[in-house]
Structure 1
């Protein structure tokens, strides 16, 4: 004849106990990255809108002595570069940041490279008109 085991009695715990579960790795940094990237995207879209509006009227000075030789050539290629260059640079910057974040998993480095890629577009537009 066998007896059932005695009921389990919890023992008093000694020491700090089990550590609390860790938060997801990079959780708060993902939110900060998303906020910074969204803010930079909003600023870039605003800059592109202002540059596009300005470049739409930049050709008005081509009949005067104020127009630059490169911008006011007869082909109109540089005028299109000045108008659409920042938009193409913004699209390239977004692709750079997305690929750097998803494939390479270096979001802050990709964001810095994306800012540099984008800065080339407005710089090219302003150089085309004023140099």
Structure 2
């Protein structure tokens, strides 16, 4: 009496070899979601600062206006466009950190710091 050899691979269970899970894909999705959320927040902050600097010159005739902002030396343009330039620099920093250096979270943290310089400069310019 002879037995037939077993089928290869067995007809039950996963195929041989079992599929490997994708390496790091959930972490990449979380990184992209956090980066997009921070970008949306930065765009809202930039819009509010731009809107605020449109009316910041109204106080230049009173004692409430700062000398730096009201003397016509171009600081009002720095206050208005500085956050946008900082946002562009932050996006470049995050993309380079994620693609070239392969350190996405460090690049994201550095991008947040680069972006924070723009609104800080704008607020310092308007409020002294």
Residue 46 of structure 2: aligned partner: 48
Q: CA deviation at 1:19?
A: 7.1
Q: Larger radius of gyration, structure 1 or 2?
A: 1
Q: CA deviation at 1:8?
A: 6.1
Q: How high is the TM-score relative to the length of structure 1?
A: 0.85
Determine if the alignment matches structure 1 residue 64 to structure 2 residue 56: no
Q: 1:66-89 CA distances to partner (integer Å, 9 max, x unpaired)?
A: 0001111132x1000000000000
Q: CA RMSD in A?
A: 2.2
Determine if the alignment matches structure 1 residue 99 to structure 2 residue 102: no
4+ long deviations beyond 4 Å: none
- How many residue pairs end up in the alignment? 121
What stretches of structure 1 of length at least 5 have no aligned partner? 1-5
Q: 1:29-73 CA distances to partner (integer Å, 9 max, x unpaired)?
A: 011001000000000000000000000110110011100011111
Partner-residue secondary structure (3-state), 1:70: helix
Q: How high is the TM-score relative to the length of structure 2?
A: 0.87
Determine if the alignment matches structure 1 residue 9 to structure 2 residue 9: no
Residue 110 of structure 2: aligned partner: 113
What stretches of structure 2 of length at least 5 have no aligned partner? none
Residue 22 of structure 1: aligned partner: 20
Q: 1:99-131 CA distances to partner (integer Å, 9 max, x unpaired)?
A: 111101110000000000000000000011111
